Amino acid sequence: MSIQKNRLSKEVFAENFSDVHPPFEHAEGAVIEAERCLNCYDAPCAKLCPTSIDVPLFIKQISSGNIKGSAKTIFSSNIMGAGCSKVCPVEKLCEGACVFNLLKEKPISVSKLQRYASEKAISEKWKLFERKPSNGKKAAVVGAGPAGLACAHALSMQGVDVTIYEKEEKGGGLMTYGVAAYKVTPDFCKNEVDYILSVGGIDVQYKKELGKAITLAELQQKYDAVFLGIGVGIARSLDIPGEELDGVADAISFIYDLRTNDYSSIAVGDKVAVIGMGMTAIDAATQSKRLGAKEVTMIYRRTENEKPCTDVELDLAKLDGCSFIWLASPKEIIGENGKVKKLVCSKMKLGEPDASGRRAPVDSGETFTIDVDMVIKAAGQMPYEEIVNKSSVQNKNGKISINEKSETNLKGVFAGGDSVNGGKEVVDAVQAGKDGAKGILEYLGL
């Protein structure tokens, strides 16, 4: 039992990490699906989209053959509409709200249709947006993730010259570095970022980390406004003995490595335990399996009813052969020669509802032990508390506080996305970026 890389052949890796939700192969497929849409009034699908994409309109535009119009409808609300069509948990958003569900019929494949129009725009480099001429105002955006890009695009459209400071060497944020590779490929992420930036007026300074390459004070001085879209950091620590052992990984770093290196170079255990049941936990578990892990066990302290991931995501993990232990919380990781050997868990039971409204897990006092050689932590992510505190931005345990105009306690400094909400979906970050841009434009008198 050991952690090894290069467990599978190149061909099998390619197959395992190919697109999990294939697109429409022919235009006819998209049109047939589009024509199924009832084009509801005040559509429930659009209402549950955090970016309020006019879903009935873009679907109507697909059926009428106006694909450019369709793509523009999508991007006008969500500049990352293409990526969101692949990573959104649509079963609890647009598709979950589709009125066909109430007829016990298959909901409209909103995401697949959205992907059809938006990917076509990206691959054919349609110029759908024209920015206003520069008006001399300058804004800095920290972080080229979904929030930062959405903010930058919206600001540039209004003639603001934007500079993005990004600590990584590529844009896209978690879309590029933190999502399962079978959902979005590296090429796609690059093309999407390029497409967003093609509007012009946005200069991206890569490998420039806030607090290292540049400070917030300097940004405030150089620019008329600043938007912080710095996201969240590594996985929350488990605070249990043995966490320092060789073989304990955090899901964010694990997926980051997987997204930035060849699959054959990513080491994975024979028996992997994944702690958590959110989207990132699923991504870590399924990808461990797809890298060649023999057994992957997902461990969650509540029951399936309280799980944060969607049924569709859980099914993905089930289909990949992962197993699940519900009502269990890691207590101790036992090692041998510094390497992970066993995981001791407390058996939990459900108590009274907590702040989230879900029934809280309570330790039953009993424990059990499983053999593992790798433990991946995916029980939420930690905000960048240090950076935030150093910049004297008001925050709650590292989560930046903003007002209704997305402004922080610092004049001219705005924020949004995971760094504010602690970690939500890409689509939420896009909306936060748009909100930030709106606040900045108002602040700049534009």
Interface contacts to another protein, rule CB under 8 A: 28, 31-32, 35, 38-45, 47-48, 63, 97, 99-100, 102-103
Tokens 């964010």 -> residue: 252
Q: Tell me the C-alpha distance between 232 and 203, whole Å.
A: 23
**Residue 261, helix vs strand vs coil:** coil
Residue 31 CB, nearest approach to another protein (Å): 7
Among the listed residues 434, 90, 377, 431, the one whose alpha carbon sits nearest the alpha carbon of residue 240: 377
Q: Which pairing describes strands 232-235 and 339-353: parallel, antiparallel, or unpaired?
A: unpaired
**284: Cβ–Cβ under 8 A, 6 or more apart, which residues?**
251, 254, 255, 274, 376, 378
Closer by beta carbon to another protein, 168 or else 428 = 428
Closer by beta carbon to another protein, 48 or else 350 = 48
Closer by beta carbon to another protein, 38 or else 217 = 38
Residue 378 CB, nearest approach to another protein (Å): 30
Residue 321 CB, nearest approach to another protein (Å): 35
Closer by beta carbon to another protein, 27 or else 217 = 27
Closer by beta carbon to another protein, 95 or else 168 = 95
Closer by beta carbon to another protein, 25 or else 28 = 28
Amino acid at 334: I
Closer by beta carbon to another protein, 98 or else 196 = 98
- DSSP H stretches of helix in 330-425: 385-390, 418-421
**78: Cβ–Cβ under 8 A, 6 or more apart, which residues?**
49, 51, 53, 84, 150, 427, 430, 431
**77: Cβ–Cβ under 8 A, 6 or more apart, which residues?**
49, 51, 52, 53, 54
Our measurement of the distance from residue 225's CA atom to the centroid of its chain's CA atoms, rounded to an integer in Å, reads 26
**Residue 330, helix vs strand vs coil:** strand
* Pair 305, 328: CB distance under 8 Å: no
